[in-house]
Amino acid sequence: MIRFVPPAAVVLVLALTARAPAQQPPPGPDMTLDAPTRRAVIDGVIARLNEAYVFPDTARAMERAIRARQGRHEYDGLTSARAFAESLTAHLQAVSRDRHLRVRYSAEPLPESRPDQGPGPAEEARARAFGRRVNYGIERAERLTGNVGYLEVRSFGFEPEWAEATVGAAMTVLANTDALIIDLRRNGGGSPAYVALISSYLFGPDSVHLNSLYWRPEDRTDAFYTRVDVPGTRYGPDKPVYVLTSRRTFSGAEEFAYNLQTRKRAVIVGDTTGGGAHPGGMRRVTEHFGVWVPSGRAINPITGTNWERVGVRPDLAAPADSALRVAQLAALRDLLQRADTAERGRLEDALREIEGPRPP
Amino acid sequence: MPGSNRLAVLMLAAGVAAACGSERGRDAASADAGVDAATRRAVVEGVAARVQASYVFRDRAAVIARAIRARARRGDYDGVTSARALADSLTAHLQAAGRDRHLRVRYSHDILPAQPWRRSATTGADSLRARGRRANFGFGRPRRLLGDIAYLEIHDFGFEPQWAEETVADVLTRLADAPALIIDLRRNGGGSPRMAAFVTSYFLGPDSIHLSTLYWRGNRVERVYTRPSVPGRRYGPDRPVYVLTSHATFSAAEGFAYGLQALGRAVIVGDTTGGGAHAGGLHRVTDHFGVWVPGARAVNPITKRNWERIGVRPDVAVPEREALGVAHALALRQVLAQEPDAERRRRLERAILEVERR
């Protein structure tokens, strides 16, 4: 499940559990549609939703809504493939309010999903190469003033086994900081197993149940836990953690924030997040159309619910572009409160550095 | 929810529960109960419906469900008054219709939760961890055989890695310096593919190797990788490993053997295994009855196939009760072939004579 899909790879590649479709690769040149194609797409989308959409009642409601529009000839004038995909998406989201649910047009033909085959070694190699190029989503790890650590994770969209050495190195670099800011403002989601891996560093040596995913087509629940053994240095359960969010923070990234918030392990700073708690995957409908079907839903073991539609509510609300500063100040103030006299000077200096000069 | 994780995740450990409350062995001794006509009907229809909805192959799912319903209409279950007999006969009929040894109906003395995730996270985790500790997370005590060949029995893979990491690290570290290793899976009925992958990681290098792909019926694809880093000491990719199998070796245990065989990393010694390559989980049917339904098939990325129905073919086929002796001798010969020191060679030769005499 790749957050940023490599150019030649098809959307069905590497279907991990959770994907965020918010940033799909460009569809390619537009195409003209005829009536039989439109009908086939509508029939196929409805079939996929009935098979797999996480709420069967809503799937039926979407079916009724689309058929009604079809009956009113609302799609007849849509000869642009892109416009058709956008229109269907809007209509489906109007009923479901599910921002994960999208119809996608692709100029490049989508491969038949051959259950026997799945993604092959060439595609895996491409995905790994892509992962390496983007450092498996670990965008930045650095120290900020006052010995506060900063980690930007741009995506959770990789197999954790590929990323673990990189994550371990980043966390080791940050291990000596007194507080940690994790920036997810540009993170659109990814693999819950990768979310669990990074979360593992923030807890102690007992495995913690972070989240469950219920898959409707299989009637199956997967639970995600922290790992006890992690490469590199564990950050530990005691030092303050702040997670930065924006409206773009979506899906797996929201899960990360929500897991930590429900366990009171982190303070969430920024905007309310996007509100997508339904993992799923892209399913091919026709040669050039696919539909991203949310087929599961997250269930937090503490709240019994999730952040679908409402998003994760920040503990410290702030416009996203000022969230880093707000978090830094909060972290330094928190550290100052517990600091002994020897430390106070240094922390006060750091605070002044960020706050800027006082007005006279 | 830990309980549901155990419920949902596993490739079946033979005869056992993924459901709350039961352990291997305890199942056999647990109390039976009577079933009335209403319960019988609910269970039979519930099993048929669940298999139809969730069995990994859609068309076969319909066939199996039809077969069960036909038997019900004929009155095959009307005389059954014992819960365990009902579970056993449904199991036999499911397996006959589906030819899939993973299909099982279970009677549970404890009530099966309707929504597993609603159970408290703490109590579930504590009880699973406690049960795991009592069972040493499926691992026997590592031993050294004549010639310093290490021997380890793994009874089952039925615990998720996150609880077992310390124990696995401890056991594997104690074997890490052995010149050769024999892993005994003759009584291992399966468990979690992730646990099997975690253990496999110790016998490879620091890479993330793609071991298996699970194709779920909902079109979802899940890939299982080894971990590049493991707690404790790695046995590594270079020294000989022998895996002992029997016909009772099943499910994730077969996956473990099959994966190592496909990588050329281990020599499989013993009988052809049971032939179950489907993952799935236990689904609640009624308060006391569940049905374990395979929802996914595992495919090995190297062979592009699996061991469903055919089992893992041993590299050295011998009756399972002879497998340990045969593997021991093979291991000694392999170590001898690479031993330069004359005194150690003499000792190994004596050990080979001793083992082969037995």
Which residues form the domain of A209?
136-279+295-354
- Is A344 part of any domain? yes
3-class DSSP assignment, residue A115? coil
Distance of CA A279 to the CA centre of its chain: 9
Task: Give the DSSP H/E element, type plus range, for residue A105.
Answer: strand A102-105
Question: Does residue A212 form part of some domain?
Answer: yes
Helix (H) / strand (E) containing A38: helix A35-52
- pTM for the structure as a whole: 0.87
Mean pLDDT, all residues of chain A = 90
Distance from CA of A331 to the nearest CA of B (A): 30
**Are A202 and A265 a contacting pair, CB within 8 Å?**
yes
- The verdict on residue A223 lying in a domain is yes
Higher pLDDT, A124 or B320: B320
**Alpha helices for A208-340 (secondary structure H):** 252-262, 323-338
Q: Does residue B324 contact residue B356 with C-beta atoms inside 8 Å?
A: no
pLDDT band at A34; cut points 50, 70, 90: very high
pLDDT confidence of residue B90: 97
Torsion of CA B262, B154, B308, A216, to 10 degrees: -110
In a domain, A213, yes or no: yes
In chain A, how many domains are there? 1
**pLDDT value of residue A229:** 92
- Give the model confidence (pLDDT) of A46-95 as tens digits: 999 998 999 999 999 999 999 999 999 999 999 999 999 999 999 999 99
pLDDT tens digits along B163-185: 899 999 999 999 999 999 999 99
Distance CA(A2)–CA(B222), nearest Å, equals 13
Q: What percentage of chain A exceeds 70 in pLDDT?
A: 90
Give the span between the Cα atoms of A139 and A156, in whole angstroms.
Answer: 11
C-beta atoms of B1 and A218 within 8 A:
no
> A301 pLDDT exceeds 70?
yes
Residue of B nearest to A214 (CA): B117
pLDDT on residue B122: 46
Question: pLDDT tens, B193-220?
Answer: 999 999 999 999 999 999 999 999 877 8
Which CATH superfamily groups domain B131-357?
A: 2-enoyl-CoA Hydratase; Chain A, domain 1 (3.90.226.10)
Rounded CA separation B39/B286 (Å): 8
In a domain, A67, yes or no: no
Q: Residue B17: its pLDDT value, please?
A: 39
The neighbour count for residue B52, using CB atoms within 10 Å, is 18
pLDDT in tens, A185-207: 999 999 999 999 999 999 999 89
For B294-328, the pLDDT digits (tens) are 999 999 999 999 999 999 999 999 999 999 999 99
Q: Using CA atoms, how far apart are residues A191 and A88, in angstroms rounded to an integer?
A: 27
Cα–Cα distance, B168 to B135 (Å, whole number) = 12
Q: At a CB cut-off of 8 Å and minimum separation 6, what does B234 contact?
A: B172, B176, B201, B202, B203, B206
User: SS3 sequence, B184-199?
Assistant: ECCCCCCECHHHHHHH
Evaluate whether residue A29 is within a structural domain. Answer: no
Taking each helix axis from N to C terminus, what angle separates A35-52 and A81-96, rounded to the nearest 10 degrees?
Answer: 30
Average pLDDT value for residue range B240-254: 98
CB of A299 less than 8 A from some CB of B: yes
Residue A87 placed within a domain: no
Query: Is a pLDDT exceeding 60 seen at residue A260?
Result: yes
Q: Smallest CA–CA separation between B38 and chain A, in Å?
A: 25
The residue among A156, A169, A124 whose CA lies nearest residue B228 is A169
Percentage of chain B beyond pLDDT 90 is 81
CA B170 to chain centre: 21
Interface test with B, best of A206, A215, A229 (most B CBs within 10 A): A229
Q: Return the amino acid letter for B198.
A: F
ipTM of this complex: 0.84
- For residue A23, being part of any structural domain is answered with no
The enclosing domain of A169 has a CATH number of 3.90.226.10
Answer whether residue A24 shows pLDDT above 60.
no
* Cα of B59 to nearest chain A Cα, Å: 14
Contact A229 B210 (CB under 8 A): no
**Domain residue limits, chain B:** 2-118, 131-357
Instruction: Compute the average pLDDT of residues A319-348.
Output: 95
Checking if the pLDDT of A265 tops 70, the result is: yes
Long-range contacts of B124-130 (CB under 8 A, 24+ apart): B124/B1, B124/B2, B124/B3, B124/B4, B124/B20, B125/A207, B125/A209, B125/B2, B127/B20, B128/B2, B128/B3, B128/B6, B128/B159, B128/B163, B129/B163
Is A221 in contact with B4 (Cβ distance < 8 A)?
Answer: yes
Between CA A32 and CA A315 the distance in angstroms is 48
Q: How confident is the model at residue A119 (pLDDT cuts 50, 70, 90)?
A: low
Q: Do the Cβ atoms of B295 and A221 come within 8 Å?
A: no
**Nearest beta carbon to residue A215 from set B1, B215, B218:** B218
Please tell me the distance in Å from B247's CA to the nearest CA on chain A. 27
Where helices occur in B190-313 by DSSP H, the ranges are: 193-201, 252-262
Q: Which of B80, B83, B85 is nearest to B33 (CA)?
A: B83
Residues B1-57 pLDDT 10s = 333 334 334 565 543 433 333 333 344 445 789 999 999 999 999 999 999 999 999
Mutation target vs B (from A51, A126, A161, A166; most B CBs, 10 A cutoff): A161
